[in-house]
Chain A
Amino acid sequence: AQSVTQLDSHVSVSEGTPVLLRCNYSSSYSPSLFWYVQHPNKGLQLLLKYTSAATLVKGINGFEAEFKKSETSFHLTKPSAHMSDAAEYFCVVSPLTGNQFYFGTGTSLTVIP
């Protein structure tokens, strides 16, 4: 069975400090993994994706994520938070087989001025 666990439902950081949003997955085979961002009352925008190439993936707006197979994790990081980063973030897994994607329940990021 596939599943995605976002370990924190809410994260609060000060502007200019690092961001860490945690995601663990379970999948029978090597999946594709994605992070999406959703600003209030908007659709989801792709931040970055891992598809079995380099394990450190760079995305838009300075975000990165590292695929660690041994830990079944795909944590999202950013060195320095900006006010515009305040949003909901979703970790998504796409198993090797089947059509479905599986979404985590989301992490709400608050950035304090």
Chain B
Amino acid sequence: DVKVTQSSRYLVKRTGEKVFLECVQDMDHENMFWYRQDPGLGLRLIYFSYDVKMKEKGDIPEGYSVSREKKERFSLILESASTNQTSMYLCASRERKRDGYTFGSGTRLTVV
């Protein structure tokens, strides 16, 4: 089975800190995605990448950046964390669209 691993389940960071959320997949998928999930708002796409060093903005990229230096790893970066970035962050990967996503277990980030 495809496995998508997010390095942290829970994180607490201070306002203004630079935060890295890491995601690794083990099935050589081309496409990787970062979502945030908030009550009442569902899942919202932050960024996605369809190849190494390629990235596309999603619906809510403001305050975030991403890095994909290797095919298996897709990092989400909060340059200066703010309290409104407290959320559950979900990483996903897929090969073909018809296959659907494989999600990681999520990282619950709290910014204080």
Contact = CB atoms under 8 A, between A and B. Distances in A.
Interface range for B = 20 to 34
Interface stretch (B13-21, B42-50, B63-71): B42-50
Given A32-B97, A43-B106, A49-B100, A99 B40 contact: no
B31 A46 contact: no
A69 interface: no
Interface residues of A, number: 21
Contact of A41 (B31, B102, B108): B108
Interface string A9-51: 0000000000000000000000010101000011111100101
B90 A51 contact: no
Nearest to A44: B103
Residue among A36, A51, A94, A101 with max Cβ neighbours from chain B (10 Å): A101
Nearest to B43: A103
Contacts of A41: 9, 106, 108
A59 B56 CA distance: 32
Nearest to B88: A41
Contacts of B31: 99
Interface in B81-112: 90, 92, 97-106, 108
Contacts of B45: 100
B56 A99 contact: yes
A52 B34 CA distance: 27
A71 to B, nearest CB: 22
3 closest A-B pairs (Cβ-Cβ)?
A43-B103, A105-B42, A51-B98
Interface of B: 4, 6, 9, 31, 40-43, 45, 48, 50, 56, 58, 90, 92, 97-106, 108
